[in-house]
Structure 1
Amino acid sequence: MRLLLLWILNAVALLAVAWLLPGIVLAGFGSALLAALGLGFINTLVRPVLTLLTLPITLLTLGIFYLVLNGLLFWLAGALLPGFHVQGFGAALLGALLYGVIAWLLSALIPNSKG
């Protein structure tokens, strides 16, 4: 149940990002759900491989390249998923940062069932 709620909250976070940034376009809540699911898959499957491959440059830039990697993956999701469009790398970088902050804040509202 928690996973389903997190998925919906991530979709809401994407809608908020699309509302706040003019360079990010979502066709509606259904597209936001699909984009949240797609971002979850990209972050689960692609991010670890790219993080490992770009570890030397990430270390040289003291971790700043990891932000670039987040933006690139957000941009990739916008290119692959229907109803979700990211207009340029700048919008992708800002969108990824804003999406991460909003999704983190929303997920903090859910009580943890451990205990």
Structure 2
Amino acid sequence: MKLIVKLLLTALAVLVLSNLLSGIVVDNYMTAVIIAVVIAVLNLFVRPILVILTLPVTILTLGLFLFVINAIIILMAGKLVSGFYVNGFFTALLFSVLLSIFRSVLFGMLKEEKKNR
């Protein structure tokens, strides 16, 4: 149940960010849900491989290269899902940073509600 709520909150964040950023296009809410699932799957399988392959660069940049990896994941999701368009690399980079911030805030509110029960 918690996974479904997190996916729906991520889809909501994707929709909000697509309205804020001009380089991101999401056709509808169902597409946003599919994007959330695809990003979760890519983060589960592809991201660890990319992190291991780029470990020297990540260490050299003190972890800032992880933002580039996140942008690559967003670009990959844009290629895999029809109805989700990313204008370019820097748009994907900004989108991934803002998505991380939105998700942190939304997931933080979930934990606060759980503590109050």
TM-score > 0.5, shorter chain as reference: yes
Q: TM-score range by the shorter chain?
A: over 0.9
Superposition deviation, residue 75 in structure 1: 1.0
Q: Supply the distance in 2 between the matched residues of 1:107 and 1:84 (Cα, whole angstroms).
A: 23
Name the TM-score, length of structure 1 as normaliser. Answer: 0.94
> Equivalent pairs: percent with the same residue?
38
Q: Supply the distance in 2 between the matched residues of 1:88 and 1:100 (Cα, whole angstroms).
A: 18
The correspondence of residues 1-115 of structure 1 with structure 2, limited to 5 A, is 1-110=1-110, 111-112=113-114
SS of equivalent to 1:73: helix
Superposition deviation, residue 112 in structure 1: 4.0
Superposition deviation, residue 109 in structure 1: 1.2
* Structure 1 gaps, min length 5: none
> Number of paired residues?
114
Q: Supply the distance in 1 between the matched residues of 2:114 and 2:68 (Cα, whole angstroms).
A: 31
Cα-Cα RMSD: 1.4
Q: Supply the distance in 1 between the matched residues of 2:81 and 2:33 (Cα, whole angstroms).
A: 11
Superposition deviation, residue 2 in structure 1: 1.2
Name which of structure 1's ranges 47-56 and 60-69 shifts more when overlaid on structure 2.
60-69
* Structure 2 gaps, min length 5: none
Name which of structure 1's ranges 67-76 and 39-48 shifts more when overlaid on structure 2.
67-76
SS of equivalent to 1:22: coil
Q: Supply the distance in 1 between the matched residues of 2:62 and 2:106 (Cα, whole angstroms).
A: 28
Moved over 2 A (4+): none
